[in-house]
Amino acid sequence: MLRAQLRPRLPPVSSRFLRTAPRLWNEHKHDHKKSELGNSLGKDKHDHGHDHRHDHHHEHSFKDMLKGHSHNHGAQQNPIISEPNGWKNPAVRITWIGLFSNVGMAGAKGVGGVVFNSQALLADAVHAVGDMVADFLTLATVSMASKDPTRRYPRGYGKVEAMGAVGVSSILILAGVGMAVNGFDAILSAFDLHLPSFMGHFGHSHAPVEADAAGKAPQVADINAAWLAVASIGIKEWLYRATMKVAIEKRSTVLEANAWHHRLDSLTSVVAAVTIAAGHFFNAAWLDPLGGLLVSYAIIKAGISTGKESVYQLMDRSLALDDETYEMVRDKAEDFLRSKGMDYRVENLQVLPSGPNLSAYLDVIVQKGTLTLPQANQIAREVEEDLMGEIVGMKCVDVHIREEGEKLRGII
């Protein structure tokens, strides 16, 4: 019985990364000179040329937005960890820009909501405050994910990014539920009805559109509030496009979640602008809070969708057999083994994503009696070095050499 197992090692990962979003190019070429084992098993020299091109193009209608959104890129082959921190890092830079924008919009919408008597604009201001919290969380996780692996964390800090994505998604869900309760309460108030007190406290109650203690009917919002909402649409749509571009380049789940947060904020402002204007022209006070109620479903749905894959990463769920990244890892391992000129094959491959990082566990099946233990160790080491050298973000490769017919132990 032959069994060669490698402990995780962290050689530097070399990659050539061309940013042409939404098209992602990853080209890597190198030569492998013959090893000691290759003198007897392989050719003197073998070349590997790889050209991987991944297209990412998403189009979404208003109906799609209301249904929520979910992306699964499999493992996040993310070169963010090799880039410096600070303003030079595009992920950090776009997050700071989003943070500054949210600070400005929160203040403007808050003042505008009070001055122009708009419950929708005030709710949007509260939502913008939640965005600031999300931006701080995103910035913290992106910066942490940029750190190099250490002895205590040999696989890096990739799961911090997955935790950040769960945090951003949680903010989306809580904000959506709060907006839904508040909007429903405001609509009932327009018809002189009210939610039970315990439910009313869950949302954000804003006086401008609710009946006051004197029994006055809610007032419609000033039409000028709609212009602030329109300005917010333009800013948030630009932030969505800029953040999504970096997310695609970096293959970052947390940045992608934050980008969709910007898009949903833009959608919120669209509905706010329409309902404010409609309420003003038709003298219908209930239309203003209706906008927040309509978009709250999309926000909750998006929060669940964007957080689901990150939860799977935290649970160490392996990629599916038909996942693009899984197939790439399998093909690279098989191509390398075929280059040795012997009948090797890969079985029981497990690929675990961890934020921007990857870990791979696999068995290499050989014919019985064809390899000595030193040769098996050499093959395992070369497979590890090949995968870690060619796949961006691969931090750990664990290879077992098994003879044909050997009973498998462990997870199947």
Are 150 and 260 a contacting pair, CB within 8 Å? no
- 111 in the same domain as 204: yes
In a domain, 367, yes or no: yes
- 372 in the same domain as 292: no
- Average predicted confidence (pLDDT) for the chain: 71
In a domain, 381, yes or no: yes
Segment 137-151 shows an average pLDDT of 73
Over residues 157-214, the pLDDT tens digits come to 888 888 888 888 888 788 778 878 877 877 887 777 655 554 544 444 444 444 444 4
In angstroms, what CA-CA distances link 187 with 87, 118, 122, 293, 392?
45, 13, 15, 9, 52
Residue in the block written with tokens 């919002």: 221
In angstroms, what CA-CA distances link 257 with 175, 252, 345, 402?
15, 9, 38, 41
The CA distance from 2 to 379, in Å, is: 12
- 328 in the same domain as 305: no
In a domain, 61, yes or no: no
In angstroms, what CA-CA distances link 25 with 22, 47, 273?
10, 20, 40
Number of domains in the chain: 2
Residue 24: HSE in the Cβ half-sphere, 13 Å Cα cutoff: 20
- pLDDT for the residue numbered 40: 41
In angstroms, what CA-CA distances link 178 with 90, 254, 296?
32, 23, 8
Over residues 61-78, the pLDDT tens digits come to 444 444 444 433 333 433
Question: Of 237, 255, 225, 221, which Cα lies nearest the Cα of 355?
Answer: 255
Question: Of 46, 258, 61, which Cα lies nearest the Cα of 140?
Answer: 258
Among residues 314, 335, 360, which one ends one of the domains?
A: 314
- 281 in the same domain as 135: yes
The CA distance from 178 to 305, in Å, is: 18
In a domain, 410, yes or no: no
Residue 138: band (very low, low, confident or very high) from pLDDT cuts 50, 70, 90: low
- pLDDT for the residue numbered 301: 79
319 Cβ partners below 8 Å, 6+ apart?
74, 75, 325, 326, 351, 352, 353
Over residues 77-129, the pLDDT tens digits come to 333 433 455 677 888 888 888 888 888 888 888 888 888 877 777 777 777 77
- 249 in the same domain as 172: yes
244 Cβ partners below 8 Å, 6+ apart?
255, 256, 259, 260
**What is the phi/psi pair of residue 216, to 5°?**
-70, 145
- 367 in the same domain as 294: no
Among residues 266, 283, 314, which one ends one of the domains?
A: 314
The CA distance from 322 to 308, in Å, is: 19
The CA distance from 239 to 369, in Å, is: 60
As given in the structure block, the two tokens for residue 76 are 């996040």
The CA distance from 366 to 405, in Å, is: 10
- 86 in the same domain as 31: no
- pLDDT for the residue numbered 193: 63
**SS3 call for 58:** coil
Are 164 and 142 a contacting pair, CB within 8 Å? yes
In a domain, 5, yes or no: no
**CB burial class (10 A; 0-12, 13-18, 19+) of residue 383?**
buried
- pLDDT for the residue numbered 24: 31
In a domain, 71, yes or no: no
Which string of b and e fits 280-300 if b means at least 16 CB within 10 Å? beeeebbbbbbbbbbbbebbb
DSSP string, 283-346: T-TTHHHHHHHHHHHHHHHHHHHHHHHHHHHHTTPPPPTT-HHHHHHHHHHHHHHHTTTS--EE
As given in the structure block, the two tokens for residue 13 are 């990962």
Sign of the torsion formed by the C-alpha atoms of 210, 214, 215 and 218 = negative
Are 251 and 90 a contacting pair, CB within 8 Å? no
- 193 in the same domain as 132: yes
- 266 in the same domain as 213: yes
**CB burial class (10 A; 0-12, 13-18, 19+) of residue 10?**
middle
Q: What percent of the chain has pLDDT over 90?
A: 11
- pLDDT for the residue numbered 36: 42
In a domain, 231, yes or no: yes
The CA distance from 111 to 54, in Å, is: 45
Among residues 314, 340, 355, which one ends one of the domains?
A: 314
- pLDDT for the residue numbered 343: 76
- 174 in the same domain as 90: yes
Phi-psi region of 251 (alpha: psi -120 to 50; beta: other; left: phi over 0): left
Residue 389: CATH number of its domain: 3.30.70.1350
- pLDDT for the residue numbered 319: 92
- 343 in the same domain as 251: no
- 101 in the same domain as 117: yes
Which string of b and e fits 221-253 if b means at least 16 CB within 10 Å? bbeebbebbebbbebbbebbebbbbbbbbbbbb
- pLDDT for the residue numbered 275: 79
Are 396 and 8 a contacting pair, CB within 8 Å? yes
In a domain, 160, yes or no: yes
Q: Which domain holds residue 97?
A: 76-314
- pLDDT for the residue numbered 242: 92
Residue 255: CATH number of its domain: 1.20.1510.10
